[in-house]
């Protein structure tokens, strides 16, 4: 038998993946520290330790400092035994603690079997009492990994908690296991040493954290386990008491405000800046940044702002955290994107005006529910003029409610010209692609002959045969691939054409199109929708690259297009990092599938660089850049991949033309789309509405 440790080098792997043959210690040779074989193994294990510690310096700096201090006081040592020229025993020693024989195959088997017995699955929030082998931590981390591609893209993590009273035990396993992948994920919270329980209690009093729902205590002291159970219960009770207190504080404060206070609050008589709070989530891509930027606009106008958002990818924003911050901040105005008062734990704040800024046509936005309503203190804005005129809001929810237009803007403190940057990139394209598991990629890679055995499957509510579905998918892919780029873009924005892609394929194989769920044909859950969206973004970049353009692409999930591998850079940080990249580029491309007045387009203009964006017919453009800017003077548009290539080549070769257009676009964008001016418009609408309330 042999153990597959995650070690750093082939040499260490060769030495540690040693055959275990049992035997008694008296017949084994104990290696001394002076033995060259001992020194080689010690060197390799310490290299693994250093790699782990260097990673901890960045990800868990307090734990790294604790471990380094521990090593300085009591360096780890090894007990190594050999039999017939083979390593049979490796025991790690630090202070009074020593490990089991790390080369005993039963040590690994028993550890993994015990972890398996707990039935850990995706969604479980485990609490581990003591790391007893290293295998336990690795296995728990793997079992709690999410398989949901949306969760993976948004980094929605299930937390793991580790209470380790003897930190030396965990430290020793860092000699053997490369745990950098675990540490880099950051979803484990470690509570170490004599203060572990007190630190854990403090952590649980954060209203955003998720409580453990599974206790793993193999070999742990029974009194410790009971103590932790009691501690968790006490923290729950404490949180509930705090919640009740915050609710009472909120009720008391807002009941004390007169009707006249709210009428004059947004005028000039209040005598103090407004307090404005924004609710958002790190589990969004665009919305958290739009919330941040509009709040910055209010701040530029002299108001106090607060953003309520999770601080870690294992946290969840709860009604406890909302009420705690509201109780402390006492907002005069609340900002939410894509959601309404009744969805956001704001039941106690019926007197506080709420601004909802709609960025996406989600189910809750186009609901036909009649049991919810917008009050006179709810103010709704849409970033799309198209939605204001195409009937999107012709629903019971919006009856007698005016929807105001509010475009996205530019945060000029984040996006601005930076003349210190040298132009190193001809073309920059920054966007995420859809996780390929949500597209048709798996069906593309399946040979037509590999149909397998027929079996019953369900698509939405539609029951059909697996072989029929494989043929349907193949037909859909053939249809998509037969379209020109312009046709692909046209199909995407015209729902009648887009639905026909799937309907024709289903009906070709005898399935009534009326039985096919609409969400399969288009929308966020449709693999057809996601495939076409990926193609719209990727095909022009492939065309540029194949024609020798110096292009750099930033974003997630681009590795499905292997031909672009030389120019893929991984994700870029939003904000100043993105601004730096734009300022290092001669041309920045925006290629939204449905809107030209996109956040990315305005960021490019705000950075002072040339914007090259795809033209979308006005009647289908959700928010049109062409309403505010002139093509060829403030920015440049393209029709398809061939048109894009021609214009890219021209603009690269004509620096003066490029710079003139970029400067015009920058000046016009800052004049019209600064977030301070957008914030002023919001306050004007709210002030008018609140003044009209009797």
Give the separation between CA 531 and CA 537, rounded to whole angstroms. 10
Q: pLDDT at position 4, please? A: 31
pTM for this entry: 0.84
Q: Is 379 helix (H, G, I), strand (E, B) or coil?
A: strand
Q: Is 368 helix (H, G, I), strand (E, B) or coil?
A: coil
Q: pLDDT at position 635, please? A: 98
DSSP secondary structure string for all residues of 465-495: EHHHHHHHHHHHHHHHHHS-HHHHHHHHH-H
Q: pLDDT at position 496, please? A: 83
Q: pLDDT at position 443, please? A: 83
Q: Would the pLDDT of 91 be above 60?
A: yes
Q: pLDDT at position 694, please? A: 54
Give me the residue label for tokens 């214009």: 647
| Cβ contacts of 386 within 8 Å, gap of 6 or more | 392, 620, 621, 622, 623
Q: Are strands 456-459 and 462-465 parallel, antiparallel or unpaired?
A: antiparallel
299: which 2 tokens? 């701040």
Give me the residue label for tokens 């769920």: 517
Q: pLDDT at position 446, please? A: 58
626: which 2 tokens? 């062409």
In this predicted model, what pLDDT tens digit does every residue of 557-580 receive, in sequence order? 999 999 999 999 999 988 899 999
Q: Would the pLDDT of 347 be above 90?
A: no
DSSP secondary structure string for all residues of 623-682: S-GGGTS-BTTTBEEESSHHHHHHHHHHHHH-HHHHHHHHHHHHHHHHHHHBHHHHHHHH
Contact 425, 585 (CB under 8 A): yes
Which pLDDT band holds residue 16 (cuts at 50, 70, 90)?
very low
Closest CA to 163 of 222, 100, 70, 225: 225
Give the separation between CA 455 and CA 71, rounded to whole angstroms. 59
- Which burial class, exposed, middle or buried, applies to 62 when counting CB atoms under 10 A from its CB (0-12, 13-18, 19+)? exposed
Give the separation between CA 53 and CA 61, rounded to whole angstroms. 9
> Can you tell me the mean pLDDT for 213-225?
82
**Hey, CA dihedral for 443, 445, 447, 453, is it positive or negative?**
negative
Q: pLDDT at position 462, please? A: 53
> Can you tell me the mean pLDDT for 288-300?
95
Which pLDDT band holds residue 654 (cuts at 50, 70, 90)?
very high
Closest CA to 140 of 129, 154, 153, 151: 129
The phi, psi pair for 308, rounded to 5°, reads -105, 110
> Can you tell me the mean pLDDT for 465-482?
86
319: which 2 tokens? 């009604």
559: which 2 tokens? 């590795």
Q: Would the pLDDT of 24 be above 70?
A: no
Question: C-alpha angle with apex 197: 193 to 199, nearest 5 degrees?
Answer: 85
In this predicted model, what pLDDT tens digit does every residue of 524-553 receive, in sequence order? 778 899 999 999 999 999 999 999 999 999
Q: Would the pLDDT of 449 be above 60?
A: no
Q: pLDDT at position 209, please? A: 94
Give Cα separations from 370 to 374, 382, 394, 641 (angstroms): 11, 21, 13, 46
Q: pLDDT at position 269, please? A: 57
Per residue in 190-223, is it b (16+ CB within 10 Å) or e — as a string? Answer: bbbeeebeebbbeebeebbbeebeebbbbebeee
Which pLDDT band holds residue 459 (cuts at 50, 70, 90)?
low
How many other C-beta atoms lie within 10 A of the C-beta of residue 148?
A: 14
Give me the residue label for tokens 């048709």: 440
Closest CA to 464 of 517, 519, 504, 500: 517
Phi-psi region of 215 (alpha: psi -120 to 50; beta: other; left: phi over 0): beta
**Across 352-366, 456-470, 507-521, least confident range:** 456-470
Q: pLDDT at position 8, please? A: 34
Closest CA to 666 of 555, 572, 557, 588: 588
Q: pLDDT at position 457, please? A: 47
As a dihedral over the C-alpha atoms of residue 403, residue 404, residue 405, residue 411, rounded to 10 degrees, the angle is -120
In this predicted model, what pLDDT tens digit does every residue of 71-84 receive, in sequence order? 999 999 899 998 88
Q: Which residue has the higher pLDDT, 267 or 630?
A: 630
Give the separation between CA 128 and CA 59, rounded to whole angstroms. 20
Which pLDDT band holds residue 108 (cuts at 50, 70, 90)?
confident
> Can you tell me the mean pLDDT for 208-220?
87
DSSP secondary structure string for all residues of 393-405: T-SGGGTT-PEEE
Which pLDDT band holds residue 447 (cuts at 50, 70, 90)?
low
The winner for highest mean pLDDT among 7-16, 48-57, 92-101, 456-465 is 48-57
Q: Would the pLDDT of 555 be above 80?
A: yes
Q: pLDDT at position 150, please? A: 55
**Across 210-219, 254-263, 265-274, least confident range:** 265-274
Q: pLDDT at position 157, please? A: 84
DSSP secondary structure string for all residues of 345-365: T-TT-TTS-EEEEE-S--TTT
Kindly state the DSSP code that residue 435 receives in the 8-state scheme.
Answer: P
Task: Work out the end-to-end distance of the chain between its first and last CA atoms, rounded to an integer number of angstroms.
Answer: 82
Q: Would the pLDDT of 452 be above 50?
A: no
Report the percentage of the chain scoring pLDDT > 70: 91
In this predicted model, what pLDDT tens digit does every residue of 398-429 receive, in sequence order? 998 999 999 999 999 999 999 999 999 999 99
Which pLDDT band holds residue 468 (cuts at 50, 70, 90)?
confident
| Cβ contacts of 422 within 8 Å, gap of 6 or more | 584
Q: Is 294 helix (H, G, I), strand (E, B) or coil?
A: helix
Q: pLDDT at position 56, please? A: 97
- Quote the radius of gyration of the chain (alpha carbons, Å): 30
Give the separation between CA 502 and CA 500, rounded to whole angstroms. 5
Q: pLDDT at position 631, please? A: 97
Percent helix / strand / coil, the chain, rounded to 5: 45, 15, 40
Q: Would the pLDDT of 128 be above 90?
A: yes
Q: Would the pLDDT of 247 be above 50?
A: yes
Give the separation between CA 74 and CA 96, rounded to whole angstroms. 10
Q: pLDDT at position 384, please? A: 94
Q: pLDDT at position 302, please? A: 93
Q: pLDDT at position 357, please? A: 97
């Amino acid at each position: 038998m042999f153990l597959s440790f995650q070690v750093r080098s082939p040499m260490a792997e060769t030495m540690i993946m040693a055959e275990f043959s049992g035997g008694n210690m008296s017949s084994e040779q104990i290696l001394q520290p002076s033995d060259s074989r001992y020194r080689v193994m010690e060197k390799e294990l310490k290299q693994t330790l250093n790699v782990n510690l260097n990673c901890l310096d960045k990800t868990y700096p307090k734990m790294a400092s604790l471990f380094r201090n521990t090593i300085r006081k009591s360096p780890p040592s090894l007990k190594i035994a050999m039999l017939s020229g083979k390593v049979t025993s490796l025991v790690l020693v630090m202070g009074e603690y020593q490990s089991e024989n790390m080369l005993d195959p039963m040590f690994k088997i028993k550890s993994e079997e015990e972890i398996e017995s707990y039935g850990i699955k995706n969604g479980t929030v485990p609490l581990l009492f003591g790391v007893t082998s290293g295998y336990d931590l690795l296995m728990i981390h793997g079992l709690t990994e999410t398989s949901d591609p949306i969760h993976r893209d948004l980094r929605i993590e299930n937390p793991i908690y580790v209470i380790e009273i003897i930190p030396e035990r965990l430290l020793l396993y860092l000699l053997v296991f490369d745990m950098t992948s675990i540490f880099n994920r950051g979803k484990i919270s470690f509570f170490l040493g004599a203060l572990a329980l007190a630190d854990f209690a403090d952590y649980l009093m954060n209203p955003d954290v998720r409580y453990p729902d599974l206790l793993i205590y193999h070999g742990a002291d029974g009194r410790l386990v009971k103590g932790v159970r009691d501690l968790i219960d006490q923290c729950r009770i404490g949180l509930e008491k705090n919640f009740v207190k915050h609710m009472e504080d909120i009720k008391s404060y807002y009941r004390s405000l007169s009707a006249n206070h709210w009428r004059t609050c947004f005028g000039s008589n209040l005598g103090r800046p407004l307090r404005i709070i924004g609710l958002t989530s790190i589990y969004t891509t665009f919305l958290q940044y739009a919330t941040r930027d509009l709040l910055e606009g209010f701040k530029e106008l002299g108001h106090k702002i607060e953003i309520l958002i999770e601080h870690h990818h294992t946290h969840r924003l709860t009604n406890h955290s909302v009420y705690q911050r509201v109780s402390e901040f006492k907002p005069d105005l609340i900002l939410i994107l894509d959601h309404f008062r009744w969805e956001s734990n704001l039941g106690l704040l019926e007197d506080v005006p709420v601004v909802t800024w709609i960025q996406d046509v989600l189910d809750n936005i186009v609901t036909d529910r009649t049991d919810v309503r917008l009050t006179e203190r709810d103010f709704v804005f849409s970033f799309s003029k198209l939605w204001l005129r195409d009937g999107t809001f012709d629903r019971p929810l919006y009856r007698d409610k005016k929807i105001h237009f509010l475009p996205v803007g530019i945060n000029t403190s984040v996006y601005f010209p930076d003349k210190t940057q040298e132009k190193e990139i001809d073309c920059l394209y920054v966007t995420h692609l859809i996780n390929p598991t949500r597209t048709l990629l798996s069906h593309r890679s399946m040979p037509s002959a590999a149909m397998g055995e027929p079996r019953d499957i369900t698509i939405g509510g539609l029951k059909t045969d697996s072989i029929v579905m494989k043929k349907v998918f193949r037909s859909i892919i053939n249809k998509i691939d037969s379209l020109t780029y312009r046709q692909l873009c046209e199909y995407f924005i015209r729902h009648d054409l887009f639905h026909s892609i799937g309907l024709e394929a289903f009906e070709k194989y005898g399935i009534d199109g009326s039985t096919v769920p609409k969400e399969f044909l288009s929308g966020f859950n449709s693999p057809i929708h996601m495939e076409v969206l990926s193609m719209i973004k990727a095909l022009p970049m492939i065309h540029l690259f194949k024609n020798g353009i110096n292009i750099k692409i930033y974003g997630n999930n681009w590795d499905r297009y292997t031909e672009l591998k030389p120019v893929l850079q991984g994700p870029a940080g939003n904000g100043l990092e993105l601004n730096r990249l734009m300022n290092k580029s001669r041309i920045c491309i925006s290629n939204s599938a449905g809107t030209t007045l996109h956040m990315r387009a305005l960021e490019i203009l705000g950075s002072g660089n040339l914007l090259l964006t795809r033209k979308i017919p006005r009647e289908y453009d959700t928010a049109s850049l062409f309403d505010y800017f002139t093509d060829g003077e403030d920015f440049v548009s393209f029709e398809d991949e061939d048109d894009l290539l021609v214009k890219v080549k021209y603009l690269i070769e004509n620096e003066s033309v490029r710079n003139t257009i970029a400067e015009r676009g920058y000046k016009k964008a800052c004049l019209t789309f600064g977030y301070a001016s957008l914030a002023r418009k919001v306050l004007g609408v709210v002030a008018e509405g609140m003044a009209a309330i009797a």
